Copies of this chain bind each other. A is one copy, B any other.
Amino acid sequence: MPTDPTRKRILDAAEPAFAEHGFAGTSLRALTRQARVNLAAIHYHFGSKEALLRAVLDRIVAPVNRERLAGLDRLEAEAGDRALTVEEILAAFLRPALDLIRDLGERGRILARFLGRSATEPTELVQAIVHEQFGEVGIRYLAALERALPTVPPGELFWRFKCVIGVLTFLLADPTHLTSPLGAERSQDSDVELRRLVAFLAPGVGAPATFCPQS
């Protein structure tokens, strides 16, 4: 079933199509033409256009979120009872997404754009999928942040974490943002982007609790 050629062809074609034109802007006819598959195959294999979108999203974000949880597990196991640093937490959260994009080359760029789009998609459907997929990851990472920053109110941390997602989402939406301005060789040092992002975000995430530090 997972290697069904037709099913896979549809998913592979739907990914860039949704990424480029959005959900409403992608027609099943153009999609099946691109995938060289019969129009009815979509409904046979997925049931509906919405179910196809759900399948596409699941295939992408499920492994990323699995890695995010595994990375946090690993981190906490290594740390023992030492408190995690903000940098460690952020890196564990951001790395799976950046790695995925790097490993996949051109498809990674398309996929990144698709992911970035999905977070701001208007359709209630997409919102629901993203939220449901993201649930556990958000809870776990928020808890880790609360342990790392016990003096910052949880509500404030929640807000800051959303800002982190905002940056990641926006960068994903236009992958040219991710290319290093220093002209680093592509994917040679996969950690350059990650370290830069962490360096940009960590100070704000870990800032002292007083969020009105004199304008």
| Chain A residues packing against B (C-beta within 8 Å) | 19-25, 87, 91, 113, 116-117, 119-123, 153, 155-156, 158-160, 162-163, 165-167, 169-171, 173, 177, 181-182, 191-192, 194-196, 198-205, 207, 211-213, 215
Classify the secondary structure of A's interface with B.
helix
On whether the beta carbons of A163 and B200 are closer than 8 Å, the reply is yes
Residues from chain B with a CB closer than 8 A to the CB of A196 are 159, 211-212
Residues from chain B with a CB closer than 8 A to the CB of A117 are 120, 122
On whether the beta carbons of B200 and A212 are closer than 8 Å, the reply is no
Closest approach, in angstroms, between the C-beta of A62 and any C-beta of chain B? 22
On whether the beta carbons of A181 and B158 are closer than 8 Å, the reply is yes
State the oligomeric state as a number of copies.
2
Residues from chain B with a CB closer than 8 A to the CB of A21 are 24, 122-123
A44 to B153, CA, bound (A): 54
Residues from chain B with a CB closer than 8 A to the CB of A113 are 122
On whether the beta carbons of B199 and A207 are closer than 8 Å, the reply is yes
On whether the beta carbons of A163 and B170 are closer than 8 Å, the reply is yes
A165 to B173, CA, bound (A): 12
On whether the beta carbons of A155 and B182 are closer than 8 Å, the reply is yes
Chain B residue at minimal CB-CB distance from A153: B181
Closest approach, in angstroms, between the C-beta of A204 and any C-beta of chain B? 4
Interface residue from B25, B162, B177, B201 paired with A162 (Cβ < 8 Å): B177
Chain B residue at minimal CB-CB distance from A165: B170
